[in-house]
Structure 1
């Protein structure tokens, strides 16, 4: 099939869960023989490493720059446009709109739009062409609340209320126009179906199980690991909660436990805010396997967010036992004390870490149960097959065309 795929970010390097999902889905679809044109509006430029990672399996890669966040057009759109703040930041982009409209003159078997917040530049062209499109939404953005508005000052609270109302209207507007909706979890599918009045398909978040198969965590290392993209508010909240409320309790019980924090956009001032030598600050690590191999436990005290968490799936694929909250395993069919260790309060999480860190046999049981679960249900080949099946159902084969299966 010929697929036109749009994104509001470059999916390489895979510095976030969303980028990781897009990169692997695109790569797996290309490996199945589909011809993909990827249209990207990006706040970062296309460097040689990104070009080398992506161009070999794309028919075309078109990257347009996103205007600066503090531009006059963005500020005016955020204040006055019908689209909400996030959609205004990524929308009202004339060059992107013209490029997309020109691409619509070609024949496409599938037009795949990612995220409601990236839809605005494509709306008029799609309406004029009458061509159906598929929309994928990783989260119910209007329901994220604190995760979307934590960075706003306190005096902007009325604007946050207004913008959430604006986003609910925007979601309804986009959903009405989509031919098919895709979510990443069953809970999100139900929520999107309630909002849209349409059935919603699921394409699960997944992981490259073969890539992590060789990892053997060090169950006796007494090292905890957390990885995140710190441009995403739920990950920032998790670190603040861990260092303010949970780890001091852990250290009162187990003074020799260490915590490693890694991931993209790690704030430099955290090192000064929490100067404890038992905290290791690493920033972005392209290959996580060595880091996973020297850790005993993946600790993800997540209180906000949506969808399913790729960081959790990657840890499980590596056999690294996961300790988290219900939010941390949202969207996954896993059981507490069988596939992961979980609690909701700071005191309970601290006690759970203290009890578990002295029990490497228990950590091994949890880690291997998590690895088996991910292998069975969340390999990228599973997700790509789900998406390809949806494409096949929506696109009747043309006479004489070769099957994509």
Structure 2
């Protein structure tokens, strides 16, 4: 089968965020059974990374795109693109974030690639590319054109609705609700354009259906359980480290990290003076350096982007993710559980992955005091942590391996 994957992020090795890692794994596993072409915007400085994607055994075609990294005279073109996107968003009611990923040139280029490659199915990653789905489907007409599958990753309305619910400022609440409304409008229309829309959790699918979405099916994101293996083995006489990993360009990660540094860690250190919090991921050093100078940072360090996280996962006592915002499935949680480290997160972090009854990880309140108490309680019982970590790894193997997910996708491509 020939499969064309359209993604907003070039899936190279240093993509640095969960969704991009999931797309890289998806492409890797699809290419083991199918002929795959990856079409992706090429951002400034990424030219040398195209080969990393081609090494996965796929064809790579890049798309014209200007983003915030654009420099020099091309910056004028970027401003023109953003102004046009803002104008379209005003007219369509769709999110500006979605409109900025569309242009007539990019859309036409993608259609030409589809005609040339002649795939059996086109899978478009992320709702932010939904307008390209619309154009691809409209190209079909009476022709024999491939089916188009939209992989939502997360519903953009969900984190904004959560932000509105948590807001104490009236203006902030109204802004978040307006943004959520524009995402709802886009989400419903996108499901009408696509032949199938993939939801990564049953919760997302049910919510999507209630807002008017159609042709929905649940297919989770996964983790490469052949590459990511259990490594957790903290030395009893080694440093008492606790780990948080994420892309710090993503607001839910910044909020979670700030809660850890500002509220959780001082309370943990009161009871466990040797406890060290490690923040890892692109932007973590800048995040920590940018916090108020009067905010204590004792026992906290930031490692920045880490090429190989294995040593951190091996020696850390717990993986911490006090997420209060965000939607979809959290790749950081999948990967941590696959690594065999005990995970402490929230209901938001656990969404679509496990329930409390599974005992595959620990769920705590995102309240700082309660989360700190949960850290100390878990740290005091390493044997219970070890048992829970083993159940977590087994749960990932049974439900989130890419081999089973890609097999399910092939069935969807055929029946779409």
Fold similarity call, TM over 0.5: yes
Q: Which residue of the partner structure matches residue 30 of structure 1?
A: 31
C-alpha contact 1:183 1:189 (8 A) present in aligned 2: yes
> Shift in Å at residue 272 of structure 1?
5.7
Kindly tell me: are residues 336 and 253 of structure 1, through their superposed partners in 2, closer, same or farther at Cα, counting changes over 3 Å? farther
C-alpha contact 1:176 1:196 (8 A) present in aligned 2: no
C-alpha contact 1:212 1:289 (8 A) present in aligned 2: no
Q: Which residue of the partner structure matches residue 270 of structure 2?
A: 252
Does 2:82 match 1:74? yes
Does 2:405 match 1:383? yes
Q: Which residue of the partner structure matches residue 233 of structure 1?
A: 251
Kindly tell me: are residues 212 and 177 of structure 1, through their superposed partners in 2, closer, same or farther at Cα, counting changes over 3 Å? closer
> Shift in Å at residue 327 of structure 1?
0.8
> Shift in Å at residue 296 of structure 1?
0.7
Q: Can you give the 5+ residue segments of structure 2 that lack an aligned partner in the other structure?
A: 69-77
> Shift in Å at residue 122 of structure 1?
4.8
Kindly tell me: are residues 177 and 279 of structure 1, through their superposed partners in 2, closer, same or farther at Cα, counting changes over 3 Å? same
For residues 301-312 of structure 1, what are the structure 2 equivalents within 5 Å? 301-312=322-333
C-alpha contact 1:44 1:65 (8 A) present in aligned 2: no
Kindly tell me: are residues 199 and 177 of structure 1, through their superposed partners in 2, closer, same or farther at Cα, counting changes over 3 Å? closer
Does 2:97 match 1:86? yes
Counterpart Cα distance in 2 of 1:356 and 1:187: 28
> Shift in Å at residue 190 of structure 1?
1.4
Q: Which residue of the partner structure matches residue 121 of structure 2?
A: 110
Counterpart Cα distance in 2 of 1:314 and 1:195: 31
Counterpart Cα distance in 1 of 2:307 and 2:161: 29
Counterpart Cα distance in 2 of 1:154 and 1:264: 32
> Shift in Å at residue 181 of structure 1?
1.2
> Shift in Å at residue 28 of structure 1?
0.4
Kindly tell me: are residues 71 and 205 of structure 1, through their superposed partners in 2, closer, same or farther at Cα, counting changes over 3 Å? same
Kindly tell me: are residues 231 and 65 of structure 1, through their superposed partners in 2, closer, same or farther at Cα, counting changes over 3 Å? farther
C-alpha contact 1:81 1:88 (8 A) present in aligned 2: no
C-alpha contact 2:195 2:215 (8 A) present in aligned 1: no
C-alpha contact 1:340 1:366 (8 A) present in aligned 2: yes
For residues 229-308 of structure 1, what are the structure 2 equivalents within 5 Å? 229-271=247-289, 273=291, 274=295, 276-308=297-329
Kindly tell me: are residues 101 and 337 of structure 1, through their superposed partners in 2, closer, same or farther at Cα, counting changes over 3 Å? closer
C-alpha contact 2:334 2:353 (8 A) present in aligned 1: no
**CA offsets, 1:209-262, max 9 Å, x none?**
232325133064421100001111110110111112211211122121110000
**CA offsets, 1:165-217, max 9 Å, x none?**
22222222211111111111111121223334424222222212232325133
Counterpart Cα distance in 2 of 1:393 and 1:248: 54
May I ask how many residue pairs the two structures share in their alignment?
A: 389
Does 2:98 match 1:98? no
C-alpha contact 1:100 1:122 (8 A) present in aligned 2: no
For residues 175-254 of structure 1, what are the structure 2 equivalents within 5 Å? 175-218=191-234, 220=236, 221-254=239-272
- What's the RMSD between the two structures over aligned residues? 2.5
C-alpha contact 1:43 1:68 (8 A) present in aligned 2: yes
> Shift in Å at residue 343 of structure 1?
1.3
Counterpart Cα distance in 2 of 1:200 and 1:330: 18
**CA offsets, 1:73-130, max 9 Å, x none?**
3134225341311112212x23311211212334321021222211224533431323
Kindly tell me: are residues 61 and 272 of structure 1, through their superposed partners in 2, closer, same or farther at Cα, counting changes over 3 Å? closer
SS of the residue 1:211 aligns to: coil
Q: Can you give the 5+ residue segments of structure 1 that lack an aligned partner in the other structure?
A: 395-405
Q: Which residue of the partner structure matches residue 143 of structure 1?
A: 158
> Shift in Å at residue 14 of structure 1?
3.7
Q: Which residue of the partner structure matches residue 363 of structure 1?
A: 385
SS of the residue 2:349 aligns to: coil
Counterpart Cα distance in 2 of 1:161 and 1:214: 41
C-alpha contact 1:219 1:364 (8 A) present in aligned 2: no
